[in-house]
Amino acid sequence: MLTESKITSPAFFEAWVAVSAERKAALLEKWVSYAQYTAEIFDGKESFVKAVAGKLVDASRGLDVYCGYYSLDAVFFEETDRVHCAPDGQNWFQNIRIAFEHENDFNDALFQEVSHLMITRADLRVLVSYPGNEVELTKQLECFAEIIGRANFAGADPAFLFIAGQRDSSLTNIVWRSYVYDGKEMIPLSKREV
């Protein structure tokens, strides 16, 4: 049974920023190495995405995350979303609350990540990446809007969130910006510096 409330784009972004603030030193230290940075986001019991899932809970629901599901970087789910008749040790889900993709290399075919998210049934689809400049960002946002706008949702809300991360000019802070699809284009949602 699906719960009535869904995780919203603003709620996910705020959780992302909160965990980023808590782990700022580790993120900045590993920023220059794709492998180390990716490990910080996904690996271990105390991974970044696990901490984000922990921020997205309230008294009535719990959220967990599983990494590497059907070529998605991660899926966020509630315990009731599990297929309970699956064999022990296997993870199968009948519902995905959040489909999540993370790409360090902003110029490495982000259209593939967006396309993959669009064919995944989920309450919310999230992509995080790191643009080098505003020209690159604008070009990618236009591409995202085209892909999402042409996806077949039969009138349903595509619920797509893009989070762009950049270090500030001093290289001592991270600026996170979020964008959502409004039915025509990707529009700014929020901006936070940690």
Q: Is 109 left (phi over 0), alpha (psi -120 to 50) or beta?
A: left
Whole-prediction pTM:
0.90
Pull the structure tokens for residue 143. 């591409």
Question: pLDDT tens for residues 137-171?
Answer: 999 999 999 999 888 764 456 789 999 999 999 99
For residue 67, the cross-strand partners are 74
Dihedral Cα 188, 122, 76, 26, nearest 10 deg: -30
Give the Cα separation of 66 and 54 in Å (integer): 13
Tens digit of pLDDT for each residue in 22-76?
999 999 999 988 899 999 999 978 899 999 999 987 655 678 899 988 889 999 9
Q: What is the rounded CA–CA span in Å between residue 100 and residue 60?
A: 23
